[in-house]
Structure 1
Amino acid sequence: MNRCFTSIKPGYSPEETNLMHYTVNVIKALFVVILCVFFYAAAYGEEAAPLVSLRESLDTVEVERLITNAHRLPVQRRIEFISKYLLGRKYHPETRDRIKKQQKMPVEKVEAANPDPLPVEFLRTSLTYLDCMTYVEHVLAIAASVKPVYHEEFLCRLIDIMFNAGGQPLMNHHRNHFTSLWGDVNERKGYLRNIARNHPWAVSRELYLNRVGNNRTFYVEDRFLIADKAQQMWYFPTDVVLAGHAPLASGDVVAMVTDKEGLDVTHMGFYIESKGKHLLRHASIKLNRIVDQDFNQYLRDGKHIRGLMAFRPMLQAAQPNLYRFQAIAAP
């Protein structure tokens, strides 16, 4: 007999008492069924999640420690803390070699068609080697993680920031390669806010990101499909930024707008204010590492910089889609 009915108040008939016991037993049985369905669905969901390959990594402990230490900080301080922690890390040699290869290719205008989409061979993740874009993405993924779990939290966040795959198996054309498109996608997801959009000191520009000009791109070689319509981008002109009219705050993601045909930006990093200085914290291909450099001087020295895109980290994205991971040996 259920304990809650061991003592029946006077006035209940035997039939009413039996009905109470029956009702309680039915509720308990339904509760057990619901629990079983929940745990089965969770297990099935994890088993059905797309599989992603990645090279064996030694970053697990470091990433989880960073998430733990940064999680309770305000968003701005979180970005400053994590981005500073990675100062001195090396520029990714694969990206550097690919850019050198790209520069040697014949100058030729082509359409970035995508007749045969290619799957992503493996997820490029490393705290040892980073390029300008993956540096920003890794910092954001660590900062957006709500629990110190490397695979189910950090890596799924990283995929959510890098790709627009919607939980599907990762394909090359899902990669948010162009920064203006990357910003739009991650603003929609809740990671960022485009502070140049409709700002009185900002200007807008339309360009076809899949029409490649004299910049010798490797996107065609990798069969990326970027866009079939004009992409609108908002940015602050260089003279506006240097005059102090752009409402930048420390920790903002900044990207250098280029005048090269078919490209939106050529570089990105973080705008940092420290000890009265305005800094660009970025992965520098020239210096081969992540560094702090004078922000205004970098803009003045940029030969093809026509302005600055700016995104404020919000880190209000929903829980990302789940992926499973398998380690593959490095070549």
Structure 2
Amino acid sequence: MRSLNIALSIKERNYFNTTTVSIFHKAYQNKGFKALTLNLLFCGISWAGIAQESDQRIFEATIQKKYNSEQGQRVIEIAQTFLGKPYVAHTLEGKKENLVVNLREFDCSTFVESVLAIAMCKNNSFDDFTHNLETLRYRYGHVNGFGSRLHYFTDWLKENERKGLIKDQTQACAGKPYKKSVSFMTSHLPLYPQLEDYRALEAVKMAEIELMRKSFFYIPKAEVAKKESCIQNGDIIAITTSKSGLDISHQGFAIVVNGRVHLLHASQDLKEVIISQEPLAEYLAKHASQTGIMISRLVKK
């Protein structure tokens, strides 16, 4: 795949008391480039992003549709537009950490982030979407190396609660304390070549240490069926795991089908975005290592 580094016109905007840069590349859309790699330095802030032209076309087709004004329903309707999209892992990984936009294929976490970033759009622009995606995916809302990415779901949850974007609903649903020592990444260094960089390694180590100091709650899978009344369409469902050193093994969205909560997710088993055939409680029962769920919700703005 050929990429192009280009200097582009910019305009300054303020989001969350930080300066971001709007990138305009429509002039380049018809020049036959399969991908655009955008890098610039402006006012001391570096912005980098990678997207294919088809990602912008997919975004524009998605955002132009009419959705329910109720936020949870809007989230689930946007998520449903991606049904059948292929499951592909490791789409964010590269030699250098950039904001990767990929609406053509997903893993479970990029699917959740992408849908939320679209649902959060106020002016329905591609720049608005990419800003939201970066805000959700990275600590303090900006790419600053591999260590700035919110790799653990519980870290992602706490950080986006701090930003006022996501609300953890688990305790309010009578969840039980979830105590887990989080250390999977630093305990499996060969799986993460990016951690050969000392700064990235220290950032991830610090994140793991901080997570062990924070309180979390979960609903054991044996109790999920009777807690369905607490779960709304479009809620983020994070599945807890018995795997050593790991907090969450999978995530997706709650969707109510015939009065029961199912899971709309990028399925690693079936290799595409699907709605689970069975209710969420039965889905969990089929997976021995899945111990329960956390429930969170996009905050209405």
TM-score normalised by the shorter chain: which range applies? Answer: 0.7 to 0.9
Partner residue of 2:291? Answer: 306
Q: Aligned pair in 2 of structure 1 residues 257, 45: CA closer, same or farther (>3 Å)?
A: closer
- List runs of 5+ in structure 2 lacking aligned partners: 1-9, 22-41, 196-200
| Greater relative contact order structure (CA < 8 Å, 6+ sep) | 1
Partner residue of 1:130? Answer: 106
Compare the two structures and name the one with the higher strand fraction: 2
AA in 2 matched with 1:228: I
Candidates 209, 222, 236, aligned match of 2:219: 236
1:190, CA displacement in angstroms? 2.0
Quote the Cα distance in structure 1 between the aligned partners of 2:141 and 2:130: 15
| Aligned residue pairs, count | 254
Candidates 148, 151, 161, aligned match of 1:174: 148
Q: Any conservation in 1 of the 2:55–2:101 contact (CA below 8 Å)?
A: no
Candidates 190, 208, 211, aligned match of 1:227: 208
Candidates 78, 97, 122, aligned match of 1:121: 97
**Percent pairwise identity:** 23
AA in 2 matched with 1:202: G
Quote the Cα distance in structure 2 between the aligned partners of 1:221 and 1:190: 32
1:165, CA displacement in angstroms? 3.5
Quote the Cα distance in structure 1 between the aligned partners of 2:272 and 2:47: 31
Quote the Cα distance in structure 1 between the aligned partners of 2:95 and 2:246: 24
Give the superposed CA RMSD: 3.0
What SS class does the counterpart of residue 222 from structure 1 fall into? helix
Q: After superposition, where does 1:9-158 map in structure 2 within 5 Å?
A: 46=21, 47-48=42-43, 49-70=45-66, 73-94=69-90, 120-151=96-127, 153-158=128-133
AA in 1 matched with 2:174: W
Q: Is 2:281 the counterpart of 1:296?
A: yes
Q: Any conservation in 1 of the 2:228–2:260 contact (CA below 8 Å)?
A: no
Report which of the two structures shows the higher radius of gyration computed on alpha carbons. 1
Q: Any conservation in 2 of the 1:67–1:146 contact (CA below 8 Å)?
A: no
Q: Any conservation in 2 of the 1:213–1:261 contact (CA below 8 Å)?
A: no
Q: After superposition, where does 1:138-287 map in structure 2 within 5 Å?
A: 138-151=114-127, 153-167=128-142, 169-197=143-171, 199=172, 201-210=174-183, 216=188, 220-223=192-195, 224=201, 225=204, 226-229=207-210, 230=212, 231-244=214-227, 247-287=230-270
Q: Any conservation in 2 of the 1:268–1:282 contact (CA below 8 Å)?
A: yes
Quote the Cα distance in structure 2 between the aligned partners of 1:131 and 1:77: 22
Q: Aligned pair in 2 of structure 1 residues 121, 207: CA closer, same or farther (>3 Å)?
A: same
Q: Any conservation in 2 of the 1:193–1:312 contact (CA below 8 Å)?
A: yes
Q: Any conservation in 2 of the 1:80–1:272 contact (CA below 8 Å)?
A: yes
TM-score normalised according to structure 1 size:
0.68
Q: 1:71-90 CA deviation, whole Å, 9 max, x = no partner? A: 76220121111011110000
Partner residue of 2:6? Answer: none
1:299, CA displacement in angstroms? 1.0
Quote the Cα distance in structure 2 between the aligned partners of 1:124 and 1:170: 13
TM-score normalised according to structure 2 size:
0.74
1:287, CA displacement in angstroms? 0.5
Q: Any conservation in 2 of the 1:70–1:143 contact (CA below 8 Å)?
A: no
